[in-house]
């Protein structure tokens, strides 16, 4: 199974992705996690990405596309994966199509959430985890960037007939169950 998960910041993508990937025994590939791991290791890619992440902006494609391409080439992704946080722009959709070379995405899960609720959730996460991009100002910018650049992907994947939309507002377990009910796996 080749899956994508998308949704606004704070919708619970990362949390759900871990559960889904575990149940389906596919690797969970999160671009946000890859950037943060690079930053922890102090790589030049990590330092470059940090400038954008801290401002709530998307990291340039010149950095992001190559990182995803390398990750998808690893052996564990050959039979399937759950990609979280990529693609985030129409241009990245075309890049991903190229990387997959015909082994197309089976389903795209979209987690929906209302804006006030996600801001509350992210501010709460800021208190618990101290992520640099979880300040109110940066959260608002991330939501704007999502609406402008990533939300259009919903229609794009709907037109391909592979979109699965699930409300992200219940308990973690409820949302996971709803996702599996919709995925039919």
Stretches 17-25, 52-60, 105-113, 157-165: which one binds ligand ADP (CB under 6 A)? 52-60
Q: Is 59 in the site for ligand ADP (CB under 6 A)?
A: yes
Whether 160 sits among the annotated catalytic residues: the reply is no
Among 20, 26, 58, 81, binds ligand ADP (CB under 6 A): 58
Q: Is 65 in the site for ligand ADP (CB under 6 A)?
A: no
DSSP conformation class of 8 = S
Among 12, 27, 46, 85, binds ligand ADP (CB under 6 A): 85
DSSP conformation class of 169 = -
Least distance in angstroms from the C-beta of 100 to ligand ADP: 15
Number of residues in contact with ligand ADP under rule CB under 6 A: 18
By beta-carbon proximity to ligand ADP, the closer residue of 99 and 185 is 99
Contact (Cβ atoms closer than 8 angstroms) between residue 105 and residue 2: yes
Other CB atoms within a 10 A radius of the CB of residue 46 amount to 18
Q: Is 53 in the site for ligand ADP (CB under 6 A)?
A: yes
Q: Is 168 in the site for ligand ADP (CB under 6 A)?
A: no
Among 16, 20, 35, 163, binds ligand ADP (CB under 6 A): 35
Bond before 47 cis per omega within 30 degrees:
no
Q: Is 27 in the site for ligand ADP (CB under 6 A)?
A: no
Q: What is the 3-state secondary structure (H, E, C) of 64-115?
A: HHHHHHHHHHCHHHCCCEEEECCCCCHHHHHHHHHHHCCCCCCEEEEEECCH
Least distance in angstroms from the C-beta of 53 to ligand ADP: 4
Q: Is 16 in the site for ligand ADP (CB under 6 A)?
A: no
In the chain, alpha helices (H):
13-24, 31-41, 44-53, 61-73, 90-100, 115-129, 136-145, 152-159, 172-183
Q: Is 157 in the site for ligand ADP (CB under 6 A)?
A: no
Contact (Cβ atoms closer than 8 angstroms) between residue 162 and residue 106: yes
Residues that bind ligand ADP (CB under 6 A): 9, 13, 31-32, 35, 52-53, 56-59, 64, 85-86, 88, 92, 133, 142
């Amino acid at each position: 199974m080749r899956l994508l998960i998308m949704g606004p910041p704070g919708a619970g993508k990362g949390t759900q992705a871990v559960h889904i990937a575990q149940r389906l025994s596919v690797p969970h590939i999160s671009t946000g996690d890859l950037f943060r791991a690079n930053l922890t290791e102090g790589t030049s890619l990590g330092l470059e990405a940090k400038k954008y992440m801290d401002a709530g902006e998307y990291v340039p494609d010149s950095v992001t596309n190559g990182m995803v391409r390398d990750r998808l080439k690893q052996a564990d992704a050959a039979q399937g994966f759950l990609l979280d946080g990529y693609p985030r722009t129409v241009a990245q959709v075309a890049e991903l199509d190229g990387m997959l070379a015909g082994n197309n995405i089976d389903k795209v899960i979209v987690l929906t959430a209302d804006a006030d609720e996600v801001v509350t959730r992210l501010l709460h996460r800021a208190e618990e985890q101290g992520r640099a991009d979880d300040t109110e100002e940066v959260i608002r910018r991330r939501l704007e960037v999502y609406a402008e650049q990533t939300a259009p992907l919903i229609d794009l994947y709907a037109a391909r007939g592979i979109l699965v939309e699930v409300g992200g507002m219940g308990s973690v377990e409820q949302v996971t169950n709803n996702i599996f009910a919709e995925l039919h796996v």
